[in-house]
Structures are given as structure tokens and as C-alpha cells.
């Protein structure tokens, strides 16, 4: 059973500077919730009970967000704002958080290794702290269901335009006859050039991993930028173990990227219960004035 997840949130978010100078990018708001709320919601809906956040300095706001808030709760109760009180209380009850520190931002692979002591010898999920995924069934739940069947590490991938392959970890593999959405991974390569890329299937921020991955996270070498890449450890694991890639076809927003963040904001704003209809009217008017 997979009921624990790791969410690394210790990166600098340099693509979003200067905003991220003193504000964690995972706490940037999308309508009325921070990015990390959407991600934790997906985990909770997928059956995750405990989340190990890998944090760093300047990330206290994340800890406070998932903690109880007695003064605010008292204030809302006194004012009779019971709907808001319920929302606020639900956030601190959504999951059990555990915090570990990554002292230096040495890459995603290194961040996940920091959770080893807490995870121990059990399978676990990974959700990247800046990627929001939207589908009828949560993507993480689909991965966990596949894990229950195949009992081996499973990544999620989606097709990106060929000219974008050099920004992603790319996989190649053979589709399973009985389950064509699942590929048996043959190769993985981090940020390949167009010529090197074996496909345009990019790894996205949801994984279910077996604890064997820690063995490889310990021995990988840093890349040119000094970062330890999870893809490199997965490549080593794939030589010893079967790893699958699940083809995702829903919506994905990398909110660490400014343009993608704005797209996510529009998506959640037009679908928002309270302001969605009014916002659509405004947006149509706004769009009609664009040249």
C-alpha cells in the first residue's frame, strides 16, 4: 500500500525571481489557494495520509500553512464566519505533515534522498511542489493503482513538442500489450538535445517509487550544474528492475514557469464556483480588445 509521499519544496525558484526572493514559489496563489494546496489535495484524494516535505530556509510559510491556526480560528468563530472556519480547519487536517531539511539545493535527486530516514523500506509517492495536474481521476491515484498491480516503480510521462525535449527528462519504451498506456522503460535521459532524444515523452512530476531508488540516489554523480538528478538514479534502477511509464493525457501546469503559472490561474479562475462566471465575462471583453 502506498500511503506516504515526498514533496520536495526546497528549490530556489529562480525562474520566478524576483518574486521568489523572499516568497516560496510553492506558496504563490492561484485564485484563493497556494500552488502547494492543489498538490496536497491531489495526494489526499489519492489515499496519501502522510507527506514528507523536503524544505529549506525561507520555506516556513509552507509549514505554517498546513499547521493549525488557533488565533485565526478563534477570530472566525467569534465573527460567525463558519464557512471560512471550516475551510481553514480542513487544511490542517488534510494530511499529516513531516518536515525534513535539504541544507543546500543540490537538485531533485538530492532532495528526495533527504527523505530516506523517514520513508525507510516502503514504497512511496513523489509529487513535485510546483506542478499542478488536472484530470478526472487524480494522476497520482492512477499511478498508485498501477503500482498495486505491478509492484514496481512507475513514472508519469506526457508528450511534449519535439523542440522542448531538452528541458525535460525523456524516456523511451515499449507499450504493454495488455495495458497500452503503460510503457516498459528502455532508456531515460535528462535534458537531451533534439538529436539525442529517443522520444518526445517527458517525465512529469508524479512518481511511485520503490525504496531501491535510495541505493542509486546515493551513488549518482552531480551534473554540470552540480545538481543530483532523479532521472540519473532512475536510469540506474531501470538496469536492475523493471520500471514503467504511465502516459498521462490530462492537463499539467508547471507553475514554476511564469507563462504556465498564468495559464493555471486562468484555468482555475474560469472554473471557480464564486467568481468563474463573472471572470469569463470580463475575460471575453478583455480578449475582444486585444490586437
Binding site for ligand UTP (CB under 6 A): 8-15, 26, 54, 102, 105-108, 110-111, 128-130, 256
Q: Which is nearer to ligand UTP, 9 or 213 (CB)?
A: 9
What is the crossing angle of helices 82-93 and 70-78, to 10°? 160
Q: How far apart are alpha carbons 123 and 184 in whole angstroms?
A: 19
Q: Considering the complex, what minimum distance in angstroms separates the CB of residue 27 from ligand UTP? A: 11
Q: Considering the complex, what minimum distance in angstroms separates the CB of residue 127 from ligand UTP? A: 9
Q: Considering the complex, what minimum distance in angstroms separates the CB of residue 100 from ligand UTP? A: 10
What single-letter DSSP state applies at residue 166?
G
Q: Are 58 and 103 in contact (CB under 8 A)?
A: no
Q: How far apart are alpha carbons 106 and 159 in whole angstroms?
A: 27
Q: Which is nearer to ligand UTP, 81 or 258 (CB)?
A: 258
Q: Which is nearer to ligand UTP, 26 or 76 (CB)?
A: 26
Q: Considering the complex, what minimum distance in angstroms separates the CB of residue 20 from ligand UTP? A: 8
What single-letter DSSP state applies at residue 78?
H
Q: Which is nearer to ligand UTP, 30 or 105 (CB)?
A: 105
Q: Which is nearer to ligand UTP, 106 or 272 (CB)?
A: 106
Q: Rounded to 5 degrees, what angle do the CA atoms 206, 212, 217 make? A: 75
Q: Which is nearer to ligand UTP, 23 or 181 (CB)?
A: 23
Q: How far apart are alpha carbons 52 and 115 in whole angstroms?
A: 7
Q: Considering the complex, what minimum distance in angstroms separates the CB of residue 11 from ligand UTP? A: 2
Integer distance in angstroms from the first to the last C-alpha of the chain? Answer: 54
Q: Considering the complex, what minimum distance in angstroms separates the CB of residue 288 from ligand UTP? A: 34
Reference 122, options 49, 190, 62; nearest CA is 49
Go through the chain and tell me how many residues it has: 291
Q: Which is nearer to ligand UTP, 27 or 182 (CB)?
A: 27
Q: Considering the complex, what minimum distance in angstroms separates the CB of residue 130 from ligand UTP? A: 4
**In the chain, what's the furthest Cα-to-Cα distance?**
64
Q: Are 204 and 178 in contact (CB under 8 A)?
A: no
Burial letters for 267-285: b for 16+ Cβ neighbours within 10 Å, e otherwise?
bbbeeeeeeeeebeeeeee
Give the nearest residue (CB) to ligand UTP. 11
Please give the grid coordinates belonging to residue 171. Answer: 524516456
Amino acid at each position: 500500500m502506498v500511503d506516504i509521499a515526498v514533496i520536495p519544496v526546497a528549490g530556489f525558484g529562480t525562474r520566478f525571481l524576483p518574486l521568489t526572493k523572499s516568497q516560496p514559489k510553492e506558496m504563490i496563489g492561484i485564485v484563493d489557494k497556494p500552488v502547494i494546496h492543489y498538490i496536497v489535495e491531489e495526494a489526499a484524494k489519492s489515499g496519501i495520509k502522510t507527506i514528507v516535505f523536503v524544505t529549506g530556509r525561507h520555506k516556513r510559510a509552507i509549514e505554517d500553512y498546513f499547521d493549525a491556526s488557533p488565533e485565526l480560528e478563534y477570530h472566525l468563530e467569534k465573527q460567525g464566519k463558519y464557512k471560512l472556519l471550516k475551510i481553514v480547519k480542513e487544511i490542517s487536517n488534510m494530511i499529516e505533515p513531516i518536515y525534513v531539511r535539504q541544507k543546500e539545493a543540490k537538485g531533485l535527486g538530492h532532495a528526495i534522498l533527504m527523505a530516506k530516514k523517514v520513508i525507510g523500506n516502503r514504497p512511496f509517492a513523489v509529487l513535485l511542489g510546483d506542478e499542478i495536474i488536472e484530470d478526472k481521476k487524480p494522476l497520482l491515484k492512477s499511478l498508485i493503482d498501477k503500482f498495486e498491480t505491478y509492484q514496481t516503480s512507475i513514472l508519469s510521462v506526457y508528450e511534449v513538442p519535439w523542440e522542448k525535449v531538452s528541458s525535460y527528462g525523456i524516456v523511451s519504451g515499449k507499450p504493454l500489450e495488455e495495458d497500452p498506456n503503460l510503457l516498459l522503460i528502455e532508456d531515460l535521459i535528462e535534458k537531451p538535445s533534439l538529436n539525442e532524444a529517443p522520444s518526445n515523452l517527458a517525465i512529469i512530476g508524479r512518481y511511485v517509487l520503490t525504496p531501491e531508488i535510495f541505493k542509486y540516489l546515493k551513488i549518482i554523480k552531480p551534473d554540470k550544474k552540480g545538481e543530483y538528478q532523479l532521472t540519473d538514479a532512475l536510469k540506474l534502477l531501470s538496469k536492475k528492475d523493471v520500471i514503467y511509464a504511465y502516459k498521462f493525457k490530462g492537463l499539467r501546469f508547471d507553475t514554476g514557469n511564469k507563462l504556465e503559472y498564468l495559464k493555471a490561474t486562468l484555468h482555475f479562475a474560469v472554473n471557480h464556483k464564486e467568481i468563474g462566471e463573472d471572470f469569463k465575462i470580463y475575460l471575453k471583453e478583455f480578449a475582444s480588445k486585444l490586437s
